[in-house]
Amino acid sequence: MTTFPNLFNVFPGAGGNWQTIDTRWWSPNISVSFAGDPGVEREVTEDVASYGSQLGWLNDIVIALAAAAPDAIARDADAKQALDKLTKARVEIDRIKRRRKQSAVDKARDALADLGASDKPGYARLVRSLDPNKPLGAE
């Protein structure tokens, strides 16, 4: 919480007029929940598992059950379509996770490749600046 002076106070000498503003209102971490107890939901997602982890577990179970009972899915066109969407989403999610898990070295290598492709003089300056035999500040 942050306390700001009340800017609408126009009476001189009226000390102690302070307005308390809850700065969490501007926070990107704010979440709105229309079901359940927000305190419980916050504690679960912070201390147990994120919504993404929970959904991932459920997806794994659904895909395993669908593989164990293919006839049940084949009989229902909507279920087949939903399973296809879930399977495609899972592939894309795994691709994003792999991309995000890139090591610092891989990220640096990719950044250097991008720099080399888009700014050859800048790339050359960077490489020259990494020469250990060159004095600092010399270009």
- Domain-located, residue 137: no
* Count: domains in the chain: 2
Q: Residue 90: which of 57, 67, 122, 51 has the closest Cα?
A: 57
- Tell whether 54 is covered by a domain: no
The verdict on residue 30 lying in a domain is: yes
81 and 31 within one domain: no
Higher pLDDT, 96 or 34: 96
The DSSP element (H or E) to which 26 belongs, if any, is none
Structural domain for 12, as ranges: 1-48
- Furthest CA-CA distance within the chain: 80
73-99 pLDDT tens trace: 999 999 999 999 999 999 999 988 888
CB 15 within 8 A of CB 34: no
Helix (H, G, I), strand (E, B) or coil at 17: coil
Q: At what angle do helices 51-68 and 77-100 cross, to 10 degrees?
A: 130
In a domain, 62, yes or no: no
pLDDT tier at 10 (50, 70, 90 boundaries)? low
| 36 and 86 in a common domain | no
- Can you tell me the distance from the alpha carbon of 94 to that of 62, in angstroms, rounded to the nearest whole number? 16
For residues 73 and 32, membership in a common domain is answered with no
Is the model more confident about 78 or about 18?
78
DSSP character at residue 92: H
Examine the domain organization and report whether 91 and 44 are in the same domain: no
Indicate whether 123 and 75 sit together in one domain: yes
And the tokens for 44? 């679960």
- CA nearest to 72, candidates 87, 83, 61: 83
Report yes or no on whether pTM surpasses 0.75. no
Q: Are residues 80 and 44 in the same domain?
A: no
